[in-house]
Structure 1
Amino acid sequence: MTNNKRAGFVALSGKKCFTVLLTAALTFGVAGLKAQTPAAYVNPFIGATTNADEAGVYHGLGKTFPGATTPYGMVQISPNTITGGDNGPGYSFEHTSIEGFAMTQMSGIGWYGDLGNFLVMPTAGKMYTIAGKLDGSMKGYRSQYDKKSEKASAGYYSALLTDHNIKAEMTAAQHSGMLRFTFPQGTDSRIQIDLARRVGGTSTLQYVKVVNDHTIEGWMKCTPDGGGWGNGDGHADYTVYFYAEFSKPLKDFGVWSANIPDDWSRKLDDVTGKKYLDRVAEAEVLKGATEKQGKHLGFYTQFATRANEQVLLKTGISFVSIAGAKNNLNTEIKDWNFDALHQKAIALWNKALSKASVQGGTPDQKTVFYTALYHTMIDPRIISDVDGRYPGGDGKTHQTANFNKRTIFSGWDVFRSQMPLQTIINPGLVNDEINSLVTLAQEKKMDYLERWEIMNAYSGCMIGNPAVSVIADAYTKGIRNYNVPEAYRLAVGSVEKFGNGDKGFSGGDISISLTLEYAYTDWCTGQLAKWLGKTADAAKYSQRGQAYKNVFDTEKGWYRPKDDNGNWKAWPDSARTKQWYGTIESNPYQQGWFVPQDVKGMAQMMGGNAKTIADLNNFFEKAPNNMMWNDYYNHSNEPVHHVPFLYNRLGAPWLTQKWTREICRRAYLNSVDGLVGNEDVGQMSAWYVLAASGLHPVCPGDTRQEITSPVFNKVVLRLDPKYAKGQTFTITALKNSAANVYIQSAKLNGRAYNKCYLDFKDIAAGGTLELTMGSKPNKNWGI
C-alpha cells in the first residue's frame, strides 16, 4: 500500500448507495459466456472503488480502474469521476457522474495519484470550461450516467451519459486508443478535451495546434508544482505528447484558456478549490484558434449530428515527442474500425492471459483468477515508443533495442508476489524492469536504485530497498540479461545509503519496519555477492541480514522500536497491535513476521516452533471474516502477505493449506469490493494468482517456492523458452473441492514427493506436480 496522507475528502457515497450499486458491477459480459477464452472472464470492475466508508479505513478498497487497456500498455482509456487524494485511479464505482475519459491512469494506488491526462468528454448544448463538482455544487461538462448501461471487459469500456443521451465507448492499443461517441440528433454536439487534467493536481503548461481539418497535436507538461504523485512530494515530472485525429472535420472549433496568476499555488487543494475553479469557469474561449500555449487550456470541436451518428477520436501518446505520438498512432491504428481494434485488444489479452490457465473451480473463481492475472498485467507499463525511443532520467531521449523501457515500479508492494509471479510467466518483463531501473540510475547519475519509480522520478515513496530484492530474485532464477556488475554496484549503493549499517538497527518512529526490511535486503545483497564470488561482501551483508534480532526485546517477547541512540522506546498498552508503533502502515504484530531470510532464527527467538505456531494461529483466528483492514492478519496490506506460508517453514504445512484457501475465499470476490485493500500495482492480485495456483515464495532471492492448496483442479503455467528448459509447469489437484483443502500426498513428475516446497529449477524444468486432496489434514506429508 502506498503511504497515504488523508487528502481531506473520501468517497462521497456511503454503504447504502454502494450496496445498491454493487449488483450493477457484474454487467460485464461474462454472464452467458459463449467463448470460454481467458479474456472473456475478466471483470475490470473488481476492485474499482476508492470507497473509504465501505473499507472502514481511509486507504479504501481496490482502487483499480475499469477502462480499456492492453497488456502493459502505455494507454489506459478510462472514465474519471473525481481526482486525487485517496481517489488515485480517478474513478470510484459508487460515483454517479463522469467528468471525462482520460488516456492514462494508475492502478490501485493512493498518495494523491497521478496521470489522468488528455481528458475527453462528449457534450451538447451550453459549453462549460470546467468539469463541475461531483456533488452538483458547481455545474460543468460532467454528466450523470446510467449505471445499468456501464460495461467493462478486457480492452473495452462503455457507458451512456444521460445528461445529453450520448453513448461513450473506448478501446485501446499499446500506445494509442480510440473513443466512439454515439450522439443524438442536434446542432450543438461537441467533443471537449481538457488538456490541463491530471489526477492529483494539474498539468502546469499545455500546448495545442490544429494540424489540418481532422487533426490536433500538442503536449501537457506535468511538474511537481502541479501536484500529482504525493501532491508534488513524489517528484513526478513528465510531459505527455499527443497526436489526435477526429473522424468528423474540424469546422467550428477553438481553445479555452484560463488566466492563472503566476503566484497561485497549483497543488490538489488549490485546483479543486472554488477560487481556482471560478477562474477556469471564466476562461476565455478563443473560437477558431489554431495554436495556443498556456497554463490551463482545453480544445473543443462543435458540429451537428444526426440521430445515432457516431463520431470517433483516435489518439496516440508519447512521453518523448509529438512525432513519437504520431508514429505510435499511425503504426497501431491505421483506420477508423473501432470494432476491429477492440478485437485486436481482446486477442492481445487472450495471448497474455494464456500464460496461466485454470480448470475446475466455479465461474466466479475463474473470473477472480483471470481478473487478478489481468491486473498483474497493467504495470510495469511500457514507456518506450514503438521505435524504442524513451525519455531518460537525464531529460534526454534514449534509444533501446534490447529491452522495453518500463515505468510504475511500486517496489515496496510488488517485490513480494508480483515480481516473483512474473519470474515464472513473464521473465522478460522482469529483465526489462531491472534494465529500466539500472539505466535510470545511470542516467540520473545516482549510486542507488529507486524504491518507487514513476515516470523516471526517484519518488522515495515507502521504505526499504525492494529493487535489490527483485534483482537478487531474478539473478538466482537465471534472469540475467542486464548489466550485472552495474546492478550489483547499485544494490550495494542502495543498502549502504538506506540500511542498518554497522550500527545494526534503524531508530526513529518506524524503527521496527526499517530494521527488518533493511536486514532482508542486506541479506539479498549478500546472496548476490556470494553468487558473484565476492566473498568479503557476502560475509558482510549476510551478517547484516541478522540485524532483525537487534530490535527484539526479550523482556517483552516481541519487537520494540529504538530511538537513534539505541534506547528502547516506551512500551504502550497493546503495543503489538498498536498501529504505527515503530512501524509503517502496520503494527508490530504484523510487521514482526517479516524475517523471510531467516525463519528458523526468527522462530527460535520467539520461543521455538510450537510457540510461534500458536502465536500465528492467534494472528489468523482474530482476523475478521471479511478480511478487511484490522490489527491481526491484515491481507489489505503487504507486510503480511508472506505470513500464511510460514507454517510450511515451521513444520505445519497443513495450516498454510488451510489459511491460503481461507484467504482466497474470503478476501477475493467477483464484485466491486472484491479486493479488501489497494490493488497496489499488481501485488494484491499476484498474491491470489500464485496462492490459488498452489505456489508462493516466502523469501524472494531464495529459490524455494512453498506448496499450498490450489483453488483449482488444474493450473498450467506457460514458461518462456528463452529462460526455462520446460514448456509448461502443471499443478493438478485430485479430489479437490471447497471441503477438500488439505494435501494428502503428492507426486512430482510421477514420483512420490514429500516436501512442502519446490525449488524454482523444478518449475523451470517443466513437468507436473500432482496433489491428492482431502478434507482432513495429513500431518505426515511435507514435514
Structure 2
Amino acid sequence: MILPPAAARLLVFGFATWCSLVVAPAWSQEPPPKSPADYVNPFIGASTSADQAGIYHGLGKTFPGAITPYGMVQLSPNTITGGDNGPGYSYEMPYIEGFAFTQMSGIGWFGDLGNFLVTPTTGPLQVVAGRHPEVARGYRSRYDKDTEQAKAGYYSATLTDYDVRVEATATPRTGMLRMTFPQNEQSRVQIDLARRVGGTSTKQMVRVCDKQTIEGWMECTPEGGGWGNGAGQARYTVYFYAQFDKPLEKYGVWSADIPDGQRRNREAIESEEYDKLIAAAKIIDQPTEVEGEHLGFFTEFATSQGEQVQMKVGISFTSLEGARANLEAENTGWHFDAIREATKQQWNDALSRITIKSSDEDQLAIFYTAMYHTMIDPRAISDVDGRYPGGNGKIHEPKGFTKRTIFSGWDVFRSQFPLQSIINPTLVTDTINSLIELADDTDSDYLERWEMFNAYSGCMLGNPAVVIITDAYVKGLRDFDVERAYALSKSSVERFGNGTRGHAGDISRTLEYAYNEWCVSQLATALHHDRDARLYATRAKSYRNIFDRDKGWFRPKNGDGSWQKWPAQGRLQQGYGSVESNPYQQGWFVPHDLDGLVDLLGGREKTLLDLEHFFNNTPEDFRWNDYYNHANEPVHHVAFLFNQLGSPWLTQKWTRTICANAYRNDVEGLVGNEDVGQMSAWYVLASCGIHPVTPGTTRYEITSPMWQRVEMNVGEGKVFTINVRNQSPKNLYIQSATLNGKPYNKTWIDYPHIMSGATLELTLGPVPNKRWAVPAQN
C-alpha cells in the first residue's frame, strides 16, 4: 500500500492514537480540541437564490464540495444545469444531478466548469438530467437534506430516489467518490461528459483502457456557452483518467446527434427541445473508443445491500498523460478515509496561517470558513510535473512559478490580494507571472482584468492587475519581470484609461481609471521613469473632471462633454453612470487622493457628516441597498476612511458592526456574492483589526478586532501578533495601543512592521476614546 506522505503520516498517527485509547481508562477520555478545519462550514453562502437575496445578483454563490487549498479539483454536488447558477449548487434546490469535478466559487456572471458529472443510479438508464420530466424522468435525484454533510475536504448526501449514499473527497488534482448502493440487479455509475455549468462541452472522447479504467477529454468552447454564457470567451479542455474498484463488465456510451447549426449555449441546453435531442441518443454497447458531440459513459452491475463502489479520477488541463500521472502521484490504492484525513490536514496547515482566540463557536466557524473561501482561487492548474496550458494553446514546461487561473481582478484587488500578500506572498507573484505570460502568449499589449483559464474575458472594468503589480512591488514582492510588468501596466491604462480626454464618461470607469493611473505613477517613480511618473500623477487627478459642483457630487458626462440628465433619485439612482452601484456608493472611490476628495466635498466636517449619513441609512442586515452596500465591492474600503478623516472611532464602530451583522454561520451567511474570495478576505482582515484603503501603498488601517488574540504566520518563522485587551461584543472602541511594547498613536500599521513579526496590542472599551490617534497620522 502506497500513500501520499501526508496520508501515511496520518495513518501512523491514527494507529498510535487508537493504541493509546485502547489502554486509557474511559473516565480519562475527553473530546479532542477542534482544529481550524473542524470549524469550516462550506454551506456558508451556498445559495444562488435571487429571491432570498432580494436582488438578481443572489447571495454567496459558493459550493459545498470537497476541495484542497487552491486545488485543481473541486468535487461538488450540482443541483441544476443552466440559469444564473455559477457554482453549480444552490442549497434550496431539491435535486442533485450529479457530482462534478470542477466548479467556480462566488462568481456573479453566468458560470462555467461543472465538468465530468458523475451520478450513481439504479433502474433503467436515463441520459438527460430530468429538467423536463415530460421528455424523460432523468438521472437526477431528490436527496435527503438531513443526511447532507459538508466539511473541509469532504461532502456526502443520500440520493433518495436511488437510495445511494455518496461521499466525496479530493486531492489537489484528483477526486474520489465512495457510493453505497442498495440491493439492486441494475445499479449503475454514469458520467455525463457533455455537461457543463451554463452550457455544454462541444466535443468529447472516451476510451476504455482496461477492466478498471477509462480516459478521455471534454472540449469546452464559447459556442457551448459557459463563462458569461459564451461572452467570456472561455476555451479549455478537461482531460480525465478514471478508475473503478468494481470491474467494467457491462458498460456503454450514449451518443446524441447534434444537428448542424444547433445552438448550444445556456438558453438552448435549458430548453425542452434540446432535451428531446439528447433523449434520442443511441446507446453504443461496450465500445473501445467513441468521439462525439454529446456523449455519456455508464457502467452497470448488480449490488448487494450496503455494497460500496469507489471511483477515483485524475484530471488535467494539458493531456491524457497528465491526468494519468496526476492520479498515479496523488491517489494510489483505494484508501478513501486516508485521503479524506490527509486533505483535512492540508486544510489545517493552510488555515493555521492565521490563528485566532475566541470563545464564540459561531464566530470561529465564520472566520475559518472565510479563510477557507479565500483559499480556492486563484487556483493552480499545473500538473504534478509542472506542465500547464498556455494562452497560445500550447503546453508549457515549468518556469519557476505555479500557473494560476480564475483572477477576479475587479473584486480581489481590494482585500483578497492584500491578505495573500501577508500570509501567502508567493501566490501573489505566481498570479502576476501568470498574467504577464498570458499577455505574451496572446500577443496582447495589456493585462486581462478577469482571467478564466487563459481567456481574455473583459469582464467588469478598470485595470486591477495594475493595482496588484504595484501593490506587490511596493511591498518588496518582485519575483517577476518588473520592467515587463511595468510596460504592460502602462499600455493597459493607455488602452483603458481617462487619457487626454480627462474622463471615461461614466463615474465608475473614470474613478477606477484615475486610481489605476495613480498606481502606474507610483510604479514609474520607483523605476525612475520620471516623465511617465509626472504624466500619470496628473491623470490620477482626472476624477475631478466629472465632479459637478452644482450637485455637489460626481455625475456622468455625454460624449460631447455635457452632463447627463440628473435623475429624480439623484445620487441614489442605481446604474446612473455607475456599474453595479449608484453614484453615492461609487463616488467614495478615490482611495489615492482622499484630500482631493475632501476638498471637492467642501472640507473635512462636511465629508464626515455625509459619510455618517451614508452609514446611518444602511439597513441593519447589510443586504443589497442604496447606501453602504457591503454586498458589492465598490464600498469595501469606505468604513476605513474615518481613520484618515480623523474620526477613527467610527471606523471601529462600523467595521465591528459589519463583521457582526453581514456575516453569519448559515447558508445565507454572506450578503452578496463571495466573488472569488473577496467578500471573505474583507472579513478576515477587518475582523483581525487591519485592512487597506489604498493597495499600492504599504499602509493597513487599524480597527477594532473581533478576537482576543490574532497570530499571523508571515514566513521565516515570524509571527505578527495582535493582542486585544477587554475584547467583548460591547467593547468596540480602541482606548490605547502599543507596538512592540511602545505607545502607538497611529491609526495604521506599515506592511514591513507586519512582516517583521511585530506585536500590536490594543486595549478596547465601550465608549470611544476620541483622543487616541487624533489627529490621524497620515
Do both proteins adopt the same fold according to a TM-score greater than 0.5, normalized to the shorter chain?
A: yes
What SS class does the counterpart of residue 625 from structure 2 fall into? coil
Residue 231 of structure 2 is aligned to residue 233 of structure 1: yes
Cross-structure match for 1:517: 512
Cross-structure match for 2:739: 748
Superposed displacement of residue 575, structure 1: 1.6
Superposed displacement of residue 138, structure 1: 4.7
Structure-2 change in CA distance of 1:202 and 1:33 (3 Å):
farther
Letter in structure 1 aligned against 2:53: A
Cross-structure match for 1:45: 43
Contact 2:221 2:233 in 1 (8 A): yes
What SS class does the counterpart of residue 39 from structure 1 fall into? helix
* 1:655-700 superposed Cα distances (whole Å, 9 cap, x missing partner): 0000000000110000000000000000000000000000000000
Letter in structure 2 aligned against 1:421: L
Contact 2:82 2:269 in 1 (8 A): no
Contact 1:254 1:290 in 2 (8 A): no
Superposed displacement of residue 35, structure 1: 3.2
Distance, in Å, in 2 between the alignment partners of 1:204 and 1:358 is 47
Distance, in Å, in 2 between the alignment partners of 1:451 and 1:184 is 49
Distance, in Å, in 2 between the alignment partners of 1:747 and 1:473 is 27
Distance, in Å, in 1 between the alignment partners of 2:169 and 2:704 is 37
Superposed displacement of residue 565, structure 1: 2.0
Cross-structure match for 1:182: 180
Letter in structure 2 aligned against 1:105: Q
Give the alignment partner of residue 688 of structure 2, picking from 687, 693, 703.
693
Cross-structure match for 2:254: 256
Distance, in Å, in 1 between the alignment partners of 2:203 and 2:359 is 51
What SS class does the counterpart of residue 366 from structure 1 fall into? helix
* 1:415-457 superposed Cα distances (whole Å, 9 cap, x missing partner): 0000100000000100100000001111111110000000000
Contact 2:61 2:106 in 1 (8 A): yes
Give the alignment partner of residue 206 of structure 2, picking from 205, 208, 225.
208
Residue 612 of structure 2 is aligned to residue 617 of structure 1: yes
What SS class does the counterpart of residue 490 from structure 1 fall into? helix
Residue 483 of structure 2 is aligned to residue 488 of structure 1: no
Cross-structure match for 1:166: 164
Cross-structure match for 1:582: 577
Contact 2:59 2:670 in 1 (8 A): yes
Cross-structure match for 1:728: 719
* 1:386-432 superposed Cα distances (whole Å, 9 cap, x missing partner): 11100000000101241100000000000000010000000010010
Distance, in Å, in 1 between the alignment partners of 2:685 and 2:314 is 35
Contact 2:76 2:101 in 1 (8 A): yes
Contact 1:33 1:40 in 2 (8 A): no
Letter in structure 2 aligned against 1:734: R
Distance, in Å, in 2 between the alignment partners of 1:417 and 1:84 is 30
Structure-2 change in CA distance of 1:361 and 1:663 (3 Å):
farther
Superposed displacement of residue 135, structure 1: 8.0
Residue 560 of structure 2 is aligned to residue 565 of structure 1: yes
Could you list the runs of 5+ residues in structure 2 that have no partner in the other structure?
1-29
Residue 298 of structure 2 is aligned to residue 303 of structure 1: no
Cross-structure match for 2:499: 501
Contact 1:464 1:521 in 2 (8 A): yes
Distance, in Å, in 2 between the alignment partners of 1:568 and 1:369 is 45
Letter in structure 2 aligned against 1:655: L
Identity of counterpart residues, as a percentage? 60
Distance, in Å, in 2 between the alignment partners of 1:321 and 1:399 is 13
What SS class does the counterpart of residue 602 from structure 2 fall into? coil
Residue 656 of structure 2 is aligned to residue 661 of structure 1: yes
Distance, in Å, in 1 between the alignment partners of 2:615 and 2:254 is 57
Cross-structure match for 1:406: 404
Cross-structure match for 2:101: 103
What SS class does the counterpart of residue 448 from structure 1 fall into? coil
Distance, in Å, in 2 between the alignment partners of 1:61 and 1:680 is 10
Distance, in Å, in 1 between the alignment partners of 2:359 and 2:467 is 33
Letter in structure 2 aligned against 1:80: N
Q: How does 1:373-772 map to 2 (within 5 A)?
A: 373-507=371-505, 511-721=506-716, 727-772=718-763
Cross-structure match for 1:3: none
Distance, in Å, in 1 between the alignment partners of 2:349 and 2:211 is 38
Cross-structure match for 2:329: 331
Distance, in Å, in 2 between the alignment partners of 1:407 and 1:165 is 38
* 1:148-205 superposed Cα distances (whole Å, 9 cap, x missing partner): 0000000000000100110000000001110000001111010000000100100000
Letter in structure 1 aligned against 2:533: A
Superposed displacement of residue 83, structure 1: 2.4
Superposed displacement of residue 110, structure 1: 2.6
Distance, in Å, in 2 between the alignment partners of 1:361 and 1:604 is 45
Distance, in Å, in 2 between the alignment partners of 1:58 and 1:282 is 35
Q: How does 1:268-287 map to 2 (within 5 A)?
A: 268-287=266-285
Contact 1:361 1:713 in 2 (8 A): no
Give the alignment partner of residue 768 of structure 2, picking from 762, 777, 781.
777
Structure-2 change in CA distance of 1:134 and 1:629 (3 Å):
farther
Superposed displacement of residue 263, structure 1: 1.1
Letter in structure 2 aligned against 1:772: T
Distance, in Å, in 2 between the alignment partners of 1:574 and 1:275 is 44
Distance, in Å, in 1 between the alignment partners of 2:763 and 2:81 is 49
* 1:70-93 superposed Cα distances (whole Å, 9 cap, x missing partner): 000000000000123321001000
Superposed displacement of residue 542, structure 1: 1.0
TM-score, normalised to structure 1's length?
Answer: 0.94
Distance, in Å, in 2 between the alignment partners of 1:782 and 1:565 is 47
Superposed displacement of residue 733, structure 1: 1.0
TM-score, normalised to structure 2's length?
Answer: 0.95
Structure-2 change in CA distance of 1:361 and 1:563 (3 Å):
farther
Superposed displacement of residue 134, structure 1: 8.0
What SS class does the counterpart of residue 148 from structure 1 fall into? helix
Distance, in Å, in 2 between the alignment partners of 1:33 and 1:631 is 47
Could you list the runs of 5+ residues in structure 1 that have no partner in the other structure?
1-31
Letter in structure 2 aligned against 1:684: M
Cross-structure match for 2:61: 63
Contact 2:135 2:275 in 1 (8 A): no
Distance, in Å, in 1 between the alignment partners of 2:558 and 2:134 is 50
Contact 2:470 2:519 in 1 (8 A): yes
Structure-2 change in CA distance of 1:298 and 1:654 (3 Å):
same
Show structure 1 runs of 4+ deviating over 3 A.
32-35, 134-138
Superposed displacement of residue 117, structure 1: 0.2
Letter in structure 2 aligned against 1:312: Q
Distance, in Å, in 1 between the alignment partners of 2:518 and 2:615 is 28
Structure-2 change in CA distance of 1:583 and 1:345 (3 Å):
same
More deviation, 289-298/726-735: 726-735
Distance, in Å, in 2 between the alignment partners of 1:341 and 1:89 is 24
Superposed displacement of residue 111, structure 1: 1.7
Distance, in Å, in 2 between the alignment partners of 1:179 and 1:782 is 56
Distance, in Å, in 1 between the alignment partners of 2:355 and 2:550 is 50
What SS class does the counterpart of residue 501 from structure 1 fall into? coil
Contact 1:97 1:134 in 2 (8 A): no
